[in-house]
Amino acid sequence: MKQTIPFIFALALNVDVNAQSVPAFQQQNINTNKFRQLGQELPTPNLYRTASGAPGHAYYQQQVDYDMDIELDDEHQRLYGSGTITYHNNSPEELTYLWLQLDQNMRARESDTRKITTGEISDPMGFGDLARLHNDFDGGFKIDHVKDASGNDLPYTIVNTMMRVDLPKSLKSGAKTSIELKWWYNINDRMEIGGRSGYEYFPQDGNHLYTIAQFFPRMCVYNEVEGWQHKQFWGRGEFALPFGDYTVDITVPSDHIVGATGYCQNYGQVLTDAQLEEFNRAKNADGPVIIVSQKEAEENEKQGTSDKKTWTYKATNVRDFAFASSRKFIWDAMGVEIAGKKVMAMSYYPKEGNPLWEQYSTRVVAHTLKAYSKYTIDYPYPVAISVHAKAIGMEYPMICFNFGRPEKDGTYSPYVKHRMIGVIVHEVGHNFFPMIINSDERQWTWMDEGLNSFVEYLTEKEWDKDFPTRRGPPSKIVEYMEGDKSGMVPIMTNSESIFQFGNNAYGKPATALNILRETVLGRELFDYAFKEYARRWAFKHPSPADLFRTMEDASGVDLDWFWRGWFYTTDHCDQSLDAVRWFQVDTRDPKTEKPIARKQNDASDQAISDMRNEQAYQSMVEKDAATRDFYNNAYDPFSWSVLDEEEFNRYISELSDNEQELLRSDVNYYQVNLSSPGGLVMPVILEFEYADGSKETHRIPAEIWKMNDRKVSKLFMSEKELVRVALDPFLETADIDRSNNYWPPKAEPSRFELFKEQLPFEENPMQRAKRAAEKVKGFD
């Protein structure tokens, strides 16, 4: 109901109603204001990393070059390697030792990963869980030697998944050194014991499909953030790797097709003339060109050979190297133009991947390179490869392994199709985060997975506006955000200690960035700042503060409250539209106000006793005229006299023209009372609907909560009559409870199913005994 307010001109219209209640954070003796700056949470800016979030003038990073010979033993599923690692010490410090990562040691018989694996017998228990307990596969690295450039043995110490190599003399700043390594290991069966790398065995044709990674001792990152990043590889927190140049010779059975990080240097030797011709034709083709056909692959599958071939790859400025090899591979490719350069988008897959793979994989690779290049930096590498690998999605520079397998009859569900397209976008997207924008995955899963899932979302929608994206839209994170807080950690939590990995490290940061883009900064400011982050940190090692600071620095918007709420707490957003109150100015004109007052009086609700008394009896005043006076007989509080009119005219004559105009303006004032029981401060988006059917959207920055993050009121005015208000009408804030988002409250019918409980057929012991007896009788 509308109320009239006496108009006191001394009171400013934009009265700060916040000031009327004491904010929660003032009641405590520490500052818990949600808009205070991120001071203690962020590292102090320095010469290496500036307060603006950019690399500082003293920024450095190490370079590590690898020259390796690799042989794949397809008969015993082993990998043999030897090679030279050249380490360039670009740090200002002297180094007395080098740390390398021996990731395969996670799969050693006595690995700490196995020791800390927890478990309970559950009833029922999956065969897989029990099989894992029985598994005694020995997958650790066997190090044959570590030598210096002159062939002298170097002392080394293996600490589970890490290896320290002691240098004969310390490595000065600006100097480089080389070490020679020789090693081998047993390749794991991915389908039996899991893993990001390994093989899948196809019993129908007796062949293996290898997707090989973490296959060589890889140098750790050394920098001013962590010193040596040699936190053990437990299996979940991924990798931290320096950039360098790679030359890798990969020797495989001669009927295998190989795809790898880098550009192959000897296609002329390893391909047939016809294959080479198709490869060259693919560079300028509009769609994927088949280089090795399904028919060829099926022929290869049947034979097998003891002959060998060596494929030579070179990769410049990459942080890692991976490859895939199989005689089952079909191979297609197409050129994509990125910033005037041709990039080869390619796919390798067995016939089991078709028809999905030949239709989609390479096209999705090409689309992903273009979309990511638009939102980050131009894709800088010469190739981008998608390899079919059942049950995993895993990324490496220029090459990734992706699931998505149709049924044997070639049909597939929309789920399989969309998950396959989604994983290819995601893993190809990882080229940007973390392969180029090279964050420390061992420390922060969200820095690559969250950012990548965000751009994945944009890319999927550019592929198909109806794409059923799982992570990015605010509505998709609501279920997680409203969940039990004891099963939740802030995004800023180390990779090994995260509950609900997918929601915390992928979904929540991806959603946060999407909200930052759509609701907090707007697309233009966000895209500029995000691109600037990518540009600043491409081919470098960013830390979380570098992202937070760059986004603020380039957008010109203080986002500390946003990072604090979304990345440093487990708070959720629940805004509530508590009340809408409607006011009009009391004009003081008796001709206007008295009839309004009468109408309101007539319309007011009546008390039950008064209503019943009316029927029940006659009062003394009603019965006996002697009990009545002026107030019973003649007084009407809603009438006015010439005196009232004179007073009003005198009042008017004392007002200025402006004041008179305000008094006469026929404006409605609406006071909207809001609260935020969720605790996560967010912008307020209100949609007003008026009696004439028109709508109006008010977008209010989150700073409306800066004095009181629990309760605020705001005044709006309009000549129109308000009939409906919706809070967060476009599903932007991941508000977990929308039932308090409407005025007047909206009752939404929902449907529920009725069902009769159907008992499973079960024999009782008597029935069973009877049936057994009949069966025995039958044999008589």
Contact residues for Zn ion (CB under 5 A)? 449
Helix orientation angle between 356-375 and 414-429, rounded to the nearest 10 degrees: 40
Beta bridge partners of 324: 211, 259
The minimum distance between CB 368 and Zn ion, in angstroms, equals 13
Nearer to Zn ion, 79 or 447 (CB): 447
The minimum distance between CB 236 and Zn ion, in angstroms, equals 12
The minimum distance between CB 507 and Zn ion, in angstroms, equals 12
The minimum distance between CB 506 and Zn ion, in angstroms, equals 7
Nearer to Zn ion, 198 or 429 (CB): 429
The minimum distance between CB 427 and Zn ion, in angstroms, equals 7
Nearer to Zn ion, 463 or 743 (CB): 463
The minimum distance between CB 62 and Zn ion, in angstroms, equals 25
The minimum distance between CB 339 and Zn ion, in angstroms, equals 25
- Concatenating the DSSP letter of every residue in 576-639 gives EEEEEEEEEE----HHHHHHHHHHHHHHS---HHHHHHHHH---HHHH-GGG--HHHHT--TT-
Structure tokens at 97: 């030792």
Nearer to Zn ion, 23 or 429 (CB): 429
The minimum distance between CB 471 and Zn ion, in angstroms, equals 11
Nearer to Zn ion, 332 or 449 (CB): 449
Spatial separation of the C-alpha atoms in residues 195 and 213, rounded to whole Å: 10
The minimum distance between CB 696 and Zn ion, in angstroms, equals 42
Nearer to Zn ion, 449 or 553 (CB): 449
- 513, 534 Cβ separation under 8 angstroms: no
Helix orientation angle between 544-555 and 445-463, rounded to the nearest 10 degrees: 50
Nearer to Zn ion, 200 or 449 (CB): 449
Nearer to Zn ion, 224 or 449 (CB): 449
Distances in Å between the Cα of 467 and the Cα atoms of 69, 425, 438, 511 are 43, 12, 29, 16
Spatial separation of the C-alpha atoms in residues 567 and 565, rounded to whole Å: 6
Nearer to Zn ion, 189 or 449 (CB): 449
Beta bridge partners of 344: 335, 383
Distances in Å between the Cα of 471 and the Cα atoms of 146, 512, 745 are 45, 10, 30
Structure tokens at 680: 């996560």
- Terminal alpha carbon distance of the chain: 90
Nearer to Zn ion, 334 or 384 (CB): 384
Contacts of 229 (CB under 8 A, 6+ apart): 220, 221, 222, 223, 240, 440, 442, 443
Nearer to Zn ion, 358 or 449 (CB): 449
The DSSP H or E segment spanning 400 is strand 399-402
Q: Count other Cβ atoms within 10 Å, centred on residue 281.
A: 14
The minimum distance between CB 361 and Zn ion, in angstroms, equals 17
Tell me the one-letter amino acid at 184. Answer: W
With 0-12 / 13-18 / 19 or more C-beta atoms within 10 angstroms meaning exposed / middle / buried, residue 715 is middle
Nearer to Zn ion, 449 or 571 (CB): 449
Spatial separation of the C-alpha atoms in residues 59 and 42, rounded to whole Å: 18
DSSP secondary-structure letter at 26?
Answer: G
Local structure of 350: helix, strand or coil: coil
Which residue is at the shortest CB distance from Zn ion?
449
The minimum distance between CB 102 and Zn ion, in angstroms, equals 23
- Concatenating the DSSP letter of every residue in 734-755 gives --S-GGGSEES-----------
The minimum distance between CB 449 and Zn ion, in angstroms, equals 5
Q: In 655-693, which positions are buried (b, 16+ CB within 10 angstroms) versus exposed (e)?
A: eeeeeeeebeeeebbbbbbbbbebbbbbbbbbbbbbeee
